[in-house]
Amino acid sequence: MDRIVSVAPSATSIVQALDAGDRLVGATAHCEVADVPRLGGWLNPDLDRIADLDPDLVLTNDQLQADLRDALRDDGFRVAHAEPATLDDVLSSFRTIGDAIGLPERGERLEERARDRIDRIRNVTLDGKDRPVVYCEEWGDPPMAAGNWVPEAVRVAGGRYPFVEPGDRSRKIDRPAVEAADPDFAVVHHCGAGEPSTRALVEREWDLDAEVCAIDDSLLNQPSPRLLDGIERLASIVSAVDPAVEEPSVAAGQ
């Protein structure tokens, strides 16, 4: 696939990790990629501009883009779509996108390296019953406890996450539920917040005896290789360790 349009930041990151960023001819304003036309937001891209770019393939990702996927297909575009909900889904999507863009060996290798990296993080984080409780907040108004792959990310990082089951969508949560869980750590990663900040949580004055920190939202919210960086960051917070393992990317020709 020589001409790829990505309307999902996660898909854009995966394409770049596959060393195929030079095939991108368009992306949304939320994608971190240089020198390609911007097509608007990830939920409402400009379909006419996409048509003008004449892509061989359009990449979408997440349940929230299912309607967009259908609209693109109805307009005659070839679309590769993924809806990762668990950590395993995220890692499998590296191979799926590799297949979709005609680079199956790179996709397989990227997935393998990501799984190896997860295993290495597990090997240096806490084990057993004394895992600290971690509260991860994806949105602030109303407060939402992060779901999907985040509960598993916390587990890999050495923590315990009693707020949402792995694979379930993020959900609204209230002060009594968070206080009752008595978290040791509270991690703020509000979607689209820009500069990471703990202000929204701190200003609520919840009665928490927790270490509060903020990290870039893409490190936990984006189902891409960035998530591996996020899990390492969690491990440094929750388990006070530095896994110090390499970025899960593939070199050209591998």
Contact 55, 34 (CB under 8 A): no
Domain end residue (candidates: 59, 92, 120): 120
Q: Find the CATH number of the domain harbouring 213.
A: 3.40.50.1980
Same domain, 18 and 107: yes
Contact 248, 226 (CB under 8 A): no
Confirm whether 46 is domain-assigned: yes
Same domain, 172 and 97: no
Same domain, 57 and 152: no
Tokens of 99: 């297949």
Give the residue numbers spanning the domain of 105. 4-120
Note the pLDDT tens digit of each residue in 193-206: 778 999 999 999 89
Confirm whether 245 is domain-assigned: no
Same domain, 15 and 107: yes
pLDDT confidence tier of residue 240, bands split at 50, 70 and 90: confident
Note the pLDDT tens digit of each residue in 54-89: 999 999 998 899 999 999 999 999 999 999 999 999
Write out the H or E segment, with its range, that includes residue 57. Answer: strand 57-61
**Rounded Cα distance, 61 and 66, in Å:** 8
- The pLDDT of residue 182 is 97
Residue 253, pLDDT > 50, answer no
Note the pLDDT tens digit of each residue in 173-188: 999 999 999 999 999 9
Residue 220, pLDDT > 90, answer yes
Contact 101, 15 (CB under 8 A): yes
Quote the distance between the C-alpha of residue 150 and its chain's center: 9
Q: Is 25 helix (H, G, I), strand (E, B) or coil?
A: strand
What is the length of the chain? 254
Peptide bond connecting 162 to the previous residue in cis, omega within 30 degrees of 0: no
**pLDDT more than 90, % of the chain:** 84
Q: Among positive and negative, which fits the CA dihedral 63, 111, 165, 147?
A: negative
The three state secondary structure string of 156-197 is HCCCECCCCCCCCCCEECCHHHHHHHCCCEEEECCCCCCCCC
Residue 2, pLDDT > 60, answer yes
Same domain, 57 and 145: no
Domain end residue (candidates: 120, 153, 170): 120
Same domain, 85 and 11: yes
**Rounded Cα distance, 131 and 128, in Å:** 7
Structure pTM? 0.92
Same domain, 8 and 111: yes
